[in-house]
Amino acid sequence: MASMVLKRLGSGRENRIAGWADILLNVFFIFYAFLCLYPMLLVLGISFTDNDTLREGYRMIPREFSLEGYIYAFSAGASIVRAYGVSIFVTIVGTVGHVAVCAMFAYPMSRTEFRCKKFFMGFLLIPFLFGGGLVPWYVICVQVLNLRNSIWALILPSMVSIWNILVLRTFFKVNIHPALLESARIDGCGEINAFLKIVIPLSKAGLATVAFFTALGYWNDYWLSLMLITEESLYSLQYLLYNIMARITFLNSLAARTMDLRGSVSVPQESVRMAMCILSVGPIVLAYPYFQRFIVKGITLGSIKG
């Protein structure tokens, strides 16, 4: 009887300790989530703040509410809408193509019976370790592939990532058991059908993780537009915002140097910069909740290289 009472007292104490531990963990993660959201909330507050009041410091809640940053950002009119369309098209097509190419290259590399595996591994590692440089890259894109002022200039140069191929190769090797593919082969399933109907459905976590980071790279890219695009109709959103920001900096520096323009030029530089940040980050933030359930599992399972 005494031992039963002691066990109940011990279990009650353990339950209380576990309850307090859960409360402390919840409080800690709520605080940590707020710290993660605070920079974005601060940027959002600054974007709605009058530019003159920003000299007093940044605040999450605006001292004086103003839409001048967004008004100036949307002064481009149809250009910013067209740039949104270009970025969305490039992100969707580039991400789908990138994941497809990397998966098709990584799958045979994960098979132990693939005879040319060492050759293609060297074919991957040499450019991975030794880059050709900017000039050969530019010559290939412009003179060989003729990508200048083409929408494909924003897609094809980033179509293949050696790092993502290695990640997917490891993911396929760890998660797709050879016995499963052997059973499919016995049942008359070819390599293409096995890849499409068995490997792809079982690899959603890894593919979604690669797709998310690839989409993030395509969406945030402005360098390809800077190097290969001169037609304004093909500007991506990031490059258009980069041009607007450069124009603002030039006007402010010109106004500071020229006494005649100091009173006539008034560009809300800080609020425009933060408004552009909100405009550019919005769509990719909306896409994150869909990929979030796959990201942790995909990163964990594909983190071992071998």
How buried is residue 142: exposed, middle or buried, by Cβ count under 10 Å (0-12/13-18/19+)?
middle
Cβ-contact 268, 68 below 8 angstroms: yes
Confidence of residue 5 (pLDDT cuts 50, 70, 90): very low
Q: CA 213 to CA 219: how far, in whole Å?
A: 10
CA quadruple 107, 109, 112, 116: dihedral sign: positive
Q: Which residues of 204-242 are buried (b: 16+ CB within 10 A; e: fewer)?
A: ebbbbbbbbbbbbebbbbbebbebbbeeeebbbbbbbbb
Residue-level pLDDT at 21: 78
Of 1-15, 136-150, 158-172, 180-194, minimum mean pLDDT range = 1-15
Dump pLDDT digits (tens) for 260-304.
544 555 556 677 777 777 877 777 777 777 666 666 555 555 444
CA angle 264, 266, 271 (to 5 degrees): 175
Tell whether the model's pLDDT for residue 11 goes beyond 60: no
Instruction: Specify the higher pLDDT residue, 60 or 14.
Output: 60
Cβ-contact 63, 53 below 8 angstroms: yes
Please give the backbone phi and psi of residue 100, each rounded to the nearest 5 degrees, phi first.
Answer: -65, -45
Going by the DSSP 8-state scheme, the letter that residue 49 receives in this structure is B
Residue linked to tokens 């019976």? 113
Dump pLDDT digits (tens) for 185-196.
887 888 888 888
Q: Both tokens of residue 41?
A: 């909330």
On average, the pLDDT of the chain sits at 79
How buried is residue 277: exposed, middle or buried, by Cβ count under 10 Å (0-12/13-18/19+)?
middle
Confidence of residue 152 (pLDDT cuts 50, 70, 90): very high
Mean pLDDT of 137-157: 89
- Is domain 71-301 in CATH 2.40.10.10, yes or no? no
Q: What does R_g of the chain's alpha carbons equal in angstroms?
A: 27
Please report, for the chain, the start and end positions of each structural domain, with discontinuous segments joined by +.
Answer: 2-47, 71-301
Mean pLDDT of 43-56: 78
